[in-house]
Amino acid sequence: MATIGIGLIGTGFMGKAHAIAFNAVSAVFGDILRPRLGLLCDVEAKRTEQKSEEFGFERWTTDWREVVKDPSIEVVAITTPNHLHREMAIAALEAGKHVYCEKPMAVSLADAEAMADAALGSDRITLLGYSFAKNPLLSAAKHLVAEGLIGKVFDFRGFIDEDYVADPDLPWSWRLRRENAGLGVLGDITCHLVSVAHLLLGPITDLTALTETVHKTRPESNGSSVRRAVENDDVAHALVRFGSSALGVLASSRIAHGRKNGIRIELHGSNGTIVFDQERMNELELYVAGERKEISGFRRILTNAEHSPYGLFCQAPGHSLGFNDLKIIEVAHLLNAIAGREKPFPTFADGILIERVIHGFAESARRGEWVQIAASV
């Protein structure tokens, strides 16, 4: 089995998710390029050495440029805070590496456009870490829409809500600062909702939005009486129109108490409705019009082997996938794209359309006007 050298930058939340996925992908998918965990990078030596051992890497470094220039590394996976993505991704592409980068692409639209341009000028594969769009049930929903089971889809309803900063006294962090994170809820999670909307219905072309920073200051550190200004959005909502002519409502919050991973979508079509909730990520609800009235209603479909690649994880239907399994599916997709077996999605070229939408939210909210989203890359 051919192997491929992996360099991973960042060992935090997503760094660990990538490491789990690179370790598990061969066992789940079998006939696939074998990741060789070559070089791990983070900023603090002791932690990086420890993580290197835990994640199963051959070597470690605290200098990300070593990852990019190492001739034995073919894929650079970037799981650092958003403000570092541009420099790392472009340097990796210029060094001839495939780039697997966490979302959002960057802190500003200009930085994201520069990354898309660099990808366009390279023959390497790029893939963005929009994990939720890799759920086999969303692929099934896309397939059902494409085959016309629910007729023409004229309405998309989407919510993405979490409560990771719902407590107004939670201390300040890089995610609340423009320089490190760029946008707030928009860059953190609204972009996931847009990625799912684009997957199912194609690109959004027009929108009008409102955004709000509800908790305007936070303690500088845990328990501190000094408070620092929060520089980006807590809540962001938009009315949108898709290129397909469907309408949509997209609502998002990072301060919605009780919501942990609340991506809830509905597709309303001329012949039925599809409903999905990420907090119940192994269930799809389907309503098809025209059934006998006494038995008409939503049916609840549990993930099973018909929803590829679920069957590679587990032979038994309804035994459920989890968040880290979506990352394994994403890594398999990356490796198959590199091997020329699959068309990668979303690439940096697809991602720029998502970035334009989230930055379009911010621009529309600022100007109080509708904004058009450019479709050309």
Ligand X SMILES: NC(=O)c1ccc[n+]([C@@H]2O[C@H](COP(=O)([O-])OP(=O)(O)OC[C@H]3O[C@@H](n4cnc5c(N)ncnc54)[C@H](O)[C@@H]3O)[C@@H](O)[C@H]2O)c1
Residue 136: its H or E element: helix 136-146
Considering the rule CB under 6 A, would residue 70 count as an interface residue with ligand X? no
Q: Are 204 and 248 in contact (CB under 8 A)?
A: yes
* 7 near ligand X (CB under 6 A): no
Query: Distance between CA 246 and CA 240 in Å, rounded?
Result: 9
Stretches 39-47, 227-235, 249-257, 299-307: which one binds ligand X (CB under 6 A)? 39-47
- # chain residues binding ligand X, by CB under 6 A: 21
DSSP code of residue 109: H
Using the minimum distance from each CB to ligand X, give the nearer residue, 269 or 344. Answer: 344
Query: Distance of alpha carbon 4 from its chain centroid, rounded?
Result: 24
125 is written with which tokens? Answer: 């594969």
Report the alpha-carbon distance of residue 239 to residue 262 in Å, rounded.
19
Residue 126 is a binding residue for ligand X (CB under 6 A): no
Q: How far is the CB of 155 from ligand X (least distance, A)?
A: 26
Minimum Å distance from CB 88 to ligand X?
A: 8
How far apart CA 83 and CA 318 sit, in angstroms, is 40
When CB distances to ligand X are compared, the closest residue is 12
What CA–CA distances, in Å, run from 231 to 94, 164, 254? 33, 16, 14
- C-alpha 36/C-alpha 73 separation (Å) is 9
Check residue 103 for interaction with ligand X (CB under 6 A): yes
CB of 145 to ligand X, least distance (A): 24
Environment class of 312 (CB within 10 Å of its CB; exposed 0-12, middle 13-18, buried 19+): middle
The site string for ligand X over 207-246 (x = CB under 6 A, - otherwise) reads ----------------------------------------
Question: Which range binds ligand X by CB under 6 A, 37-45, 213-221, 266-274, 368-376?
Answer: 37-45
Q: Closest distance between ligand X and the C-beta of residue 16, in Å?
A: 8
d(CA 11, CA 302) in angstroms, rounded, equals 33
Quick one: which of 80, 252, 347, 364 contacts ligand X (CB under 6 A)?
80
According to CB under 6 A, which one of 4, 6, 11, 246 is a site residue for ligand X? Answer: 11
Binding site for ligand X (CB under 6 A): 9-15, 41-43, 64, 79-82, 84, 102-103, 129, 131, 188
